[in-house]
Amino acid sequence: MTLDLGTRTRVDGDIAAARSRNDFPAIEVALADVVDRAATGDREALDFLLQMIDRHRLAQAAVRKMLIDEGDVQDAMQNTLMAVSRGIGGFERRSRFTTWLYRIAEREALQVLRRNKRVTSPEGDDLSALTEQVRNMSSIVASRAMIQQALDELDQKFRDPVMMCDVEGMDYAAIAEALDIPLNTVRTRISRGRQYIADRIQEQFRSGGSLA
């Protein structure tokens, strides 16, 4: 494969179409030859690969699930591109390229968190919207501590969208974009996450003890 204008346009279009469907296997196919060439030291292929990662936000979901501040997100994204540039020669296709990229992005986001000594869910988070949702579902007025403890127990795939919706005030479409999951999946995970929290609060009241 040569990276002439026609090839670049085709690959770019294939990735854009797959990205609109969150179809990462199709993205993998579209990038396969570019990744292989970049891994063998082809600088032109590497430059194009980095352009595709950046243009189509292929690493953004891994970063945004850990970082909120827009400046931090951009730092982590740039660090991810640099890490890909440094490490592509060691990529051996033992996993999908997109999986490898996602892990790098998670690592770089974590480094930004550590550098800034920030957390994505500070103690000052407003849990009032989530508390109201739980009250509507369980008819129980729960304390912040009870809500927080149930949240801490919640699997991350449910906790992230619940926090984004009920704490950060993001709409479902924005959450789907940030987490790279379908809109219906966002709705389902938020519903299940809220229900889990409501059920745990009810269990506490029935038992008369703590959630632990």
Q: Is the pLDDT of residue 86 over 70?
A: yes
Q: What's the pTM value of the predicted model, to 2 decimals?
A: 0.56
Over range 181-208, report the average pLDDT.
Answer: 84
**Rounded to whole angstroms, how far apart are CA atoms 192 and 79?**
34
Domain of 181, CATH number, reads 1.10.10.10
Count how many domains the chain has: 2
CATH number of 107's domain:
1.10.1740.10
What does the mean pLDDT of the chain come to?
A: 84
Residues 38 and 106 both lie in one domain: yes
Verify that 161 and 58 share a domain, yes or no.
no
For the cut 70, the answer to whether the pLDDT of residue 33 exceeds it is yes
Digit-coded pLDDT (tens) for 40-85 = 999 999 999 999 999 999 999 889 887 888 888 888 999 999 999 9
User: Is 121 contained in some domain?
Assistant: no
DSSP 3-state percent helix, strand, coil across the chain (nearest 5): 75, 0, 25
pLDDT at 128 over 80: no
Residue 194 in this model has a pLDDT that exceeds 50:
yes
